[in-house]
Amino acid sequence: MTAVSGMALADKAFKQQSEIKLFQHYAQASCLATAFTEGDIHQQAVSALNGYREFGAMPLEAYQELAEPIQQWLKKDYATQAGQQNNLMKCIDFSESEWVTKIYQGYAAKPKS
């Protein structure tokens, strides 16, 4: 019974996230899908971004506007000590960046048609 009620709470929590959190999570998943173009991570990221968009109320244009900033963010230097780029860190930082917040605020402030 505890496992079921815990799962129900987790399900409810996901659906009740704030609009900005849903948008940030979408941005992170979209970044991951862009950075990892094949395999399990890519498939899961695409599934996640579709879920966040489904539960969000932002216009499609807001989500589309993230594409170019993601490309630019992924060009940043996040080299590990071994000299490899850490795209996971890039995407986490991107989702919490002022860039994502500004895009969100630009569309959240527009009156709904």
- The domain in which residue 35 lies consists of 19-108
Q: Find where tokens 């996640």 sit.
A: 48
Q: Look at residue 58 and tell me if it is in a domain.
A: yes
Q: Look at residue 79 and tell me if it is in a domain.
A: yes
Q: Look at residue 71 and tell me if it is in a domain.
A: yes
Q: Look at residue 14 and tell me if it is in a domain.
A: no
Q: Look at residue 36 and tell me if it is in a domain.
A: yes
CATH number at residue 43: 1.20.120.1620
Q: Look at residue 7 and tell me if it is in a domain.
A: no
Q: Look at residue 13 and tell me if it is in a domain.
A: no
* SS percent in the chain: helix, strand, coil, step 5: 70, 0, 25
pLDDT tens readout for residues 58-70: 999 999 999 999 9
Domain count, the chain: 1
Cβ(75)–Cβ(58) below 8 Å:
no
- Tell me how far apart the alpha carbons of residues 21 and 13 are, in angstroms, rounded to a whole number: 12
Output the pLDDT for position 12: 56
Is the pLDDT reported for residue 87 higher than 80? Answer: yes
Q: Look at residue 25 and tell me if it is in a domain.
A: yes
- Tell me how far apart the alpha carbons of residues 53 and 29 are, in angstroms, rounded to a whole number: 10
User: Regarding predicted confidence, which is higher, 61 or 113?
Assistant: 61
Q: Once rounded to an integer, what is the mean pLDDT over residues 7-19?
A: 67
